[in-house]
Amino acid sequence: MANIVVVGAQWGDEGKGKIVDLLTESADVVARYQGGHNAGHTVMIKDRKFILHIIPSGILHRGKTCIIGNGVVIDPGAMIEEIEGLRGRKIRVGRNLSVSGRAHVIMPYHALLDGRHEQAKGSKRIGTTGRGIGPAYVDKMSRSGIRMIDMLDGKGFRAKLRTNLADINALLERRHRIGRVGMERIYSEYMKHAEYLSPFITDTVVLTNRLMERGSNMLFEGAQGTLLDIDHGTYPYVTSSNPSAGGVCAGLGISPLKIDGILGIVKAYSTRVGGGPFPTEMKGRLGRYLRSKGGEYGATTGRARRCGWLDMVSLRHTAMINGFTGIALTKLDVLDELDRIRVCVAYRYRNPAGSGRGRARTLAEFPQQADVLAACEPVYEELDGWQRNTKGVTRLRDLPRQARAYIDYIGESLNVKIDIVSTGEKRDEVVIVENPFSSGGK
């Protein structure tokens, strides 16, 4: 048995959905530990595309147990829509899916507040999806949140909703100058959601630990990437939870001693969605080329992703935080036509104010402050491109020499072995150097 964590090593959108789908073949259980339905995992099975927002990618495989942990925030209506969408495509969703009763619920007023807060930031907007994830986590931390288990007690749910709406409506009227949110409509809607979802709601902490004790192969997945981690990312341009490997233990209720391996998902170049600093961003023709060739549009919102060269400074940062035992390199084929490939190895920072103004210095470590990162210029090394088609290649030795050199460069720079190389969007377009489950995660 082995318990493997899959972690995004950049700003999300690294292709975690495909890698989770691939590794699910070796897993018995796939468990989601954080985030909400603001993320989208895209999986291609033959010519069928599936975009999953809240349900683990393992649901596409028969005989697998899927778990949504307590660290996730859930919009019940969105979850029901996703379940019905899967069932409409002949995907079984029933006893194979369990949802934590401790998971917090996204309420309609959370999405309303999300939009208002983002609008009030003006040019400082973070670029949230506006789906209420941040305000739901705020309520969780302020101990006024409503949990999935609360919806199963109609009387208790009504009392908590009434208390929350007294504060929410005062805020909406006095600060945002908009009308009150009615309680009865929300109560009626969420009681219907509770009736639909009640068979899925359980104590997933007990379930997860029992399955591990029985020797099940466990695969833990999150949303977003480490550079969007609330503690370790480009704050405040981050998500509201911990996508890094440390979030697994709190988000599922398991001991860190139970984790056997941590697979970092690294895109062969860099992308990010929304606001925030991005040192290697390419705003010209080449950036547009990568966006078009890589299909770099958000699976959840359709927003165009910002594209740039691979950033080893940020990757060293995320490798250190997570302790990657292996790497899955994705979208290698997107670089096929380039004659030269640049990799950022350091930052050059010029302090815009204060002592030393105007004097640049080189930074080898990822800055703690977003404004410092925004003032950094990348220091590049150049590698040869391969200018040959790699799409669909399934053996490492069949890749061009320069492509193998690029893969080796990444692994050696991070001192982490490359386990998987994705050469296309389809499930079978992949080079498996070593399956993390076969090696016990090590």
Of 330, 441, 394, the closest CA to residue 15 belongs to 330
Distance (Å) of CA 413 to CA 271, 313, 379, 410, 419: 20, 10, 15, 5, 15
Beta carbons within 10 angstroms of residue 215's beta carbon? 9
Q: Is 347 helix (H, G, I), strand (E, B) or coil?
A: strand
Q: What are 148-181's pLDDT values in tens digits?
A: 999 999 999 999 999 999 888 887 777 666 767 7
Please identify which of the residues 21, 28, 37, 41 carries the catalytic annotation.
Answer: 41
* 193 is annotated as an active-site residue: no
% of the chain at pLDDT higher than 90: 76
**Helix/strand/coil percentages in the chain, nearest 5:** 40, 20, 40
Helical residues (DSSP H) of 3-57, grouped into ranges: 16-23
Please identify which of the residues 13, 28, 114, 311 carries the catalytic annotation.
Answer: 13
Position with higher pLDDT, 111 vs 191: 191
120 Cβ neighbours under 8 A, 6+ residues apart: none
DSSP code per residue over 366-435: --S-HHHHHTEEEEEEEEE---S--TT--SGGGS-HHHHHHHHHHHHHHT--EEEEE-SSBTT-EEES--
Of 312, 425, 375, the closest CA to residue 9 belongs to 312
* 104 is annotated as an active-site residue: no
Report d(CA 28, CA 25) in Å as an integer. Answer: 8
Residue 395 CB burial class (10 angstroms; 0-12, 13-18, ≥19): exposed
Q: Is 1 helix (H, G, I), strand (E, B) or coil?
A: coil
Of 206, 183, 248, 311, the closest CA to residue 34 belongs to 248
Whole-prediction pTM: 0.92
- Which of 44-58, 110-124, 307-321, 370-384 shows the lowest per-residue confidence on average (mean pLDDT)? 110-124
> Which pLDDT band, with edges at 50, 70 and 90, does 303 fall under?
confident
Q: What are 414-435's pLDDT values in tens digits?
A: 999 999 999 999 889 999 999 9
> Which pLDDT band, with edges at 50, 70 and 90, does 357 fall under?
low
Place of tokens 């210029």: 377
Report d(CA 291, CA 64) in Å as an integer. Answer: 34
> Which pLDDT band, with edges at 50, 70 and 90, does 103 fall under?
very high
Of 410, 407, 434, the closest CA to residue 420 belongs to 434
**Mapped to the 3 state alphabet, what secondary structure does 106-135 carry?**
CCHHHHHHHHHHHHHCHHHCCCCCCCCHHH
